[in-house]
Amino acid sequence: MRISFVTPGVVWRPGGSYGVIFEYANQLTARGHEVRIVFPASVPQASPSADLGARLRARAVQLRKTWQRRISWYPIDPRVRLEFVPRLETAAIAPGDVVIATTWTVASFVASLPQDRGRGFYVVHHYEGGKYDPMAVDATLALPLVKLAVSRFTAREISLRGFAPVRYVPNGVDGAIYAPAEVRRSPLQVAMNFVPKAVKDPWTGIEALTLARERHPQLQAILFGTSRPPRGLPPWIQYARRLSTRSLVRDVYNRSSVFLCSSRLEGFGFPAAESMSCGCALVSTDCGGISEFARHGSTALLSVPGDAAALGENLARLIGDRALQERLVQAGRRAVGALTWQRTAIRLERALEEDVSGGAV
């Protein structure tokens, strides 16, 4: 098949949703399909309610995208065609069999394309109506595009809102990259991804770390992310910024015994899954998409989002119980090990082929 992915533009920092699209492209190319990814410098404003500051920041991002012509943070198969275009317009999309919107802001454009550009699809990582204008988001979900949900949680979330059709195409984890290494793992080190957004709620995670340290005074933590470090971190919490995948695997995941996730909502939860694949035990909020691999008492310890005391209690319990740690590590690695990108590619290919051959929704 001839497949085009339509993105809202280039990103120069690692991002889970973009990594999914790049891996889709790699896997489909390996299976013999002709794949291209379109990166516009400018996208029509999807949410006119944004304030002036947000619009100015968006414009600055667009200008930077105009000059960005490469993806350096993800290994993309050289056979995948990367097409950098000034704006989204029909002429920028080659005729093909499939055209896929990679986010809600480009879904309306994809739905407006003529039939010769291909059957329309729409990747949904999670419901975006809690972050953006829900009416605008719902309008895109109501479009005649086949929704591709990256987790059972997301598929159920979209279906319950009455939007169809939805195909379940679970994310994968590369077990060859995210694997245990022969390095010294600290039994008292906890890792956590720091993303300063309300939906990720890292502040509850930091509070939980502080509470757990009252019971285990030698506990150390390492936070990692792409933003500047948060102010006021105590000396026992390190912050690592913009790590390469190699450094993240070797110096964070493989030197920590526990991974902490305090998010309020995850469509899937890559850092948690990657850390488990490397041999960390997981303590997390029950935040949606992590149910693909996290089950309380079986592969992780879970608590309700926003409850620092419960999260800290689970963390303190796990730090103090090495046998429980080991049991969760082994079960967690098995659960994540079943989530391969090869399995994802088969399901994705099947979903595309069935809907292309089936015609209209």
**What pLDDT shows up at residue 359?**
59
Q: Which residues pair with 119 in a beta bridge?
A: 98
Q: How far apart are CA 276 and CA 330, in angstroms?
A: 9
Whether the Cβ atoms of residue 216 and residue 320 lie closer than 8 Å to each other: yes
Mean pLDDT per block of 10 residues along the chain (361 residues) reads: 96 84 98 97 62 60 60 93 95 98 98 98 95 95 98 97 96 98 93 97 99 98 96 97 95 98 97 98 98 98 99 98 98 98 98 84 49
Long-range contacts of residues 180-184, Cβ cutoff 8 Å, at least 24 apart: 180/254, 180/278, 180/279, 181/249, 181/250, 181/254, 181/278, 183/250, 183/254, 183/255, 184/255
Q: Which residues pair with 99 in a beta bridge?
A: 4, 120
**Cβ count within 10 A of residue 342:** 11
CA-based nearest residue to 111, from 143, 136, 87: 143
HSE value, Cβ hemisphere, 13 Å, CA-based, for 224: 22
Q: Which residues pair with 189 in a beta bridge?
A: 220
Q: How far apart are CA 138 and CA 283, in angstroms?
A: 33
> How big is the chain by its Cα radius of gyration, in Å?
21
CATH topology of domain 2-172+340-358: Rossmann fold (3.40.50)
Same fold, 2-172+340-358 and 189-337: yes
Long-range contacts of residues 82-85, Cβ cutoff 8 Å, at least 24 apart: 82/36, 82/37, 82/39, 83/36, 83/37, 83/38, 83/39, 84/10, 84/39, 84/41, 85/38, 85/39, 85/40, 85/41
Q: How far apart are CA 136 and CA 52, in angstroms?
A: 19
**What pLDDT shows up at residue 44?**
66
The number of residues in the chain equals 361
Considering the segment(s) 189-337 as one domain, its CATH architecture is: 3-Layer(aba) Sandwich (3.40)
Q: How far apart are CA 120 and CA 142, in angstroms?
A: 13
**What pLDDT shows up at residue 274?**
98
**What pLDDT shows up at residue 358?**
75
**What pLDDT shows up at residue 51?**
57
**What pLDDT shows up at residue 53?**
63
**What pLDDT shows up at residue 182?**
87
**What pLDDT shows up at residue 59?**
58
Show me where the domains of the chain are located: 2-172+340-358, 189-337
Q: What is the 3-state secondary structure (H, E, C) of 27-58?
A: HHHHCCCEEEEEEEEECCCCCCCCCHHHHHHH
Q: Which two tokens stand for residue 121?
A: 């699809």
Q: What is the dihedral of CA 303, 128, 249, 181, to 10 degrees?
A: 50
Q: Which two tokens stand for residue 236?
A: 């026992």
Q: What is the pTM of this model?
A: 0.91
Quote the longest CA-to-CA distance of the chain. Answer: 64
CA-based nearest residue to 273, from 333, 325, 324: 333
CA-based nearest residue to 123, from 230, 21, 232, 254: 21
**What pLDDT shows up at residue 71?**
86
Identify the helix (H) or strand (E) that includes residue 223.
strand 220-225
Q: Which two tokens stand for residue 180?
A: 């245990």
**What pLDDT shows up at residue 131?**
86
